[in-house]
Structure 1
Amino acid sequence: MSDWLVKAENVGVKLGGRPILQDISFELQRGQLVTLIGPNGAGKTTLVRIVLGLMTGYQGKLRRQQGLRIGYMPQKLYIEPTLPLTVRRFLSLGLTGISQPVTVAEATLAEVNVVHLLDQPVSALSGGEMQRVLLARALCRSPHLLVLDEPAQGVDVNGQAELYDLINTIRERHGCGILMVSHDLHLVMATTDEVLCLNQHICCHGKPEQVSTDPAYLALFGRKEAEALAVYTHHHNHVHGIDGDVVEDNCQHEH
């Protein structure tokens, strides 16, 4: 497979005569982590739907590498609380046609550090646990491209850094490309290769440190927000669990 996974060329969308996206062009490559940012109504969800192949009728061209496998993690997923659905069964629903689905489910849950949840009811999961199960589901078919929509949604603020570290580890281990929608830029900036700042069109793009000082970015988010989202590194001597609780002391950890 070629290095590029997805190429957008002058993609545009109008709904009811109103422009939603205009002249969107970008390329996402294997092993690359691209973070998509923008205010509400910027067209982020529409662009994700086009990349996933869920939306047609747009202008321009969206090219996917032949044979491309995409794993998708939604921002949130509502499951009826009274439904007697275990994590094992939930993952198996996405593994139709896969040999040894239970083994695959166990392996992906182990990779995101929640294999102990295999036989737990989905309705009993915490926010952080559910996000990791959704990430495991996206990984089940060994995707070339992961599309992650606000992956830390519902996760305790201290647990978010651990989740983003995990996502970066998955990218390095599998060599997959990642397109991620996120508002937690102060946590993801250090591992993001490129930022696309979207407001119906691409206002600016580039390395995180470039985008955070771009006039178009400052106009959208304000200087105070930009300063808060600057690339930073900090050290602490403990590790957080899925929901932010300290689970290990006396170690060096970096974000």
Structure 2
Amino acid sequence: MQLDTILSVNDLWVNYGTKIAVESVSYDVQEGDLVGVVGANGSGKSSMFKAILGLLPHRGTVSLFGRAFHRDLLRSVGYVPQKISFEPMFPATVFDVVAMALTRATLTPTDRRHGIVDSDMSNSEKVMKCLNIVRMWGLRHRRIGALSGGELQRVFIAQSLVRNPSLLIMDEPAVGLDVKSQKLFYSIMQEANSEYGITMIVSLHNMDVVKEYSNKVVCMNRTLAFHGKTSDFFADEKLLGLCTEYKLQDRPHPHEHSHEA
């Protein structure tokens, strides 16, 4: 069975002035993939995500669901950024924050073989289901500013899920969480992928997590160092070292540009 291409990135470049953050990156993501994006700090992971989402100027092309990038297609894409914070006295509750996503968008228009919420559900039912998936229904009345980091991440995953995304992009979502919160997060991630068919691209630092949960790996070193099966990535010790320990400034380029941090 041939799977649909959910995301296609072709010759993607991102510059900050004279500094190259992402250099000629190309790869495809297929329906149902859980792609672990790895690379040293400064390797271009976050810049790549933001370019895919249309949040950064870039060169090259991005296609979503077989169509050239258009902002309307982002209704089918969920995004959990690296850092999320709220003022402690912000008055919205957990339930309110997830429900906000339903006031901004309708259910996603792309063809789906799977889905978390149905169009015939009430908004309250949709929110309840997604908060149950992320184990936050019991805290639905808690003020959002009073949550721990791990709880806040789960709320924003629920906010993405309630829109029935075909693709979920998460940028280092477990950074700063304690071990218990990380384990819960990865369990939720796996459930959303395997049980509800949501394609995922997740930047990760923990190689054990990449090995256990992802079926594909994208390894960034400004350029694309590797894209393929997780088993092939871990079979190459040199490649594994390149993506986790290699210093970016030591990699030669065929042209000159600034390597400032």
TM-score range, shorter chain: 0.7 to 0.9
Asked if the contact 2:84–2:152 (Cα under 8 Å) also holds between the matched residues in 1, the reply is no
Across the aligned residues of Structure 1 and Structure 2, the Cα RMSD in angstroms comes to 2.0
Asked if the contact 2:35–2:216 (Cα under 8 Å) also holds between the matched residues in 1, the reply is yes
Cα deviation, 1:211-246, whole Å, max 9, x if unaligned, reads 2324243244359xxxxxxxxxxxxxxxxxxxxxxx
Cα deviation, 1:144-179, whole Å, max 9, x if unaligned, reads 000111122332113312321221111112212100
Tell me how far apart the structure 2 counterparts of residues 192 and 86 of structure 1 sit (CA, whole Å).
33
In structure 2, the CA distance between the partners of 1:70 and 1:125, relative to structure 1 (3 Å rule), is same
Asked if residue 115 in structure 1 is aligned to residue 122 in structure 2, the reply is no
**Which among 170, 180, 188 is matched to residue 210 of structure 2?**
188
Tell me how far apart the structure 2 counterparts of residues 151 and 90 of structure 1 sit (CA, whole Å).
18
SS at match of 1:132: helix
**Which among 153, 169, 172 is matched to residue 147 of structure 1?**
169
Residue ranges of structure 1 left out of the alignment (5+ in a row)? 224-255
Tell me how far apart the structure 2 counterparts of residues 75 and 195 of structure 1 sit (CA, whole Å).
19
TM-score, normalised relative to structure 1: 0.80
Q: Which has the higher contact order (CA 8 A, sep 6+)?
A: 2
Partner of 2:52: 51
Read off the aligned partner of 2:244 and give its amino acid letter.
F
Partner of 2:83: 76
SS at match of 2:191: helix
Partner of 1:9: 10
- Identity fraction in percent: 30
User: Which has the larger strand fraction?
Assistant: 1
SS at match of 1:155: coil
Read off the aligned partner of 1:80 and give its amino acid letter.
E
TM-score, normalised relative to structure 2: 0.78
Cα deviation, 1:101-141, whole Å, max 9, x if unaligned, reads 32221110011122111111112212222221111111010
Asked if residue 177 in structure 1 is aligned to residue 177 in structure 2, the reply is no
Tell me how far apart the structure 2 counterparts of residues 222 and 52 of structure 1 sit (CA, whole Å).
28
Tell me how far apart the structure 2 counterparts of residues 122 and 64 of structure 1 sit (CA, whole Å).
32
Read off the aligned partner of 1:208 and give its amino acid letter.
T
Asked if the contact 2:32–2:197 (Cα under 8 Å) also holds between the matched residues in 1, the reply is yes
Tell me how far apart the structure 2 counterparts of residues 76 and 125 of structure 1 sit (CA, whole Å).
14
